[in-house]
Amino acid sequence: MFCAMLLAGLGMQAQSYMRSYDHHDLQIGYAMFTPDQFFDVNTSMLDELYPEKRYVRDNYSGTGGVFITYRHIGKNENWLWGVTAGASANTSEIYNVGQYAGELKRTFITAAIEGEYRYRNQGPVQLYSGLGLGFTYGTETLTTPEQIATTGNISGVAYQLNVIGLRLGTKFAGFAEFGFGYKGIVNIGFSMQWF
């Protein structure tokens, strides 16, 4: 019994020794499958142009999003908080009652605060989940075949739910996050941690 307790204590000491004590985390990530790809295309600008609201979007093409995130790791190394900022863009074609109405270009800028809980934060492997809440400001331009451009703004609350994230490495690492929100369904990139 005493030997088992001693081995367990040594194991806990070894685990705590392997922990990363770098408390600043900077990430640069590329987000794929961002929300505008899945949300309804309707906006006040398009509703004003087509009051019957019989327009649809087709041939969607998105650039994805680029995000820079800073997180501070707390003393217990399981909870993190931070801020993020990023941008994304996409183009598509608008059809109204089956007729081509023009090309729609949208750009989005997002800023948010984030929280994260790490299930594992030892050695080169870190597993985590997290939430983010912020604001997205977007602009859209519809250019008709006659080259007449109409612009509008899209803004609203932005959120991110990271179901699972994986960071592999110590001070310099790669990461992949899977969830839904302003960082898309998949967010991959590079992470650096320091004191």
On average, the pLDDT of the chain sits at 89
Among 25, 73, 26, 28, smallest CA distance to 187 is for 28
What integer is the mean pLDDT of 75-85? 89
What integer is the mean pLDDT of 138-153? 96
CB 86 within 8 A of CB 41: no
What integer is the mean pLDDT of 153-174? 95
Q: What pLDDT was estimated at residue 2?
A: 40
pLDDT tens, position by position, 93-122: 999 999 999 999 999 999 999 999 998 877
Q: What pLDDT was estimated at residue 53?
A: 92
pLDDT classification of 180: cutoffs 50, 70, 90: very high
- Where in the chain does DSSP place strands (E)? 24-32, 55-73, 79-96, 99-122, 125-143, 149-169, 172-181, 186-194
What integer is the mean pLDDT of 137-146? 96
What domains are defined for the chain?
21-194 (2.40.160)
Q: What pLDDT was estimated at residue 12?
A: 44
pLDDT classification of 10: cutoffs 50, 70, 90: very low
Question: Beta-carbon neighbour count of residue 26 at 10 Å?
Answer: 14
pLDDT tens, position by position, 11-57: 444 444 345 556 899 999 999 999 999 888 999 999 999 999 999 99
What integer is the mean pLDDT of 75-89? 91
Q: One-letter amino acid identity for 71?
A: R
Q: One-letter amino acid identity for 162?
A: N
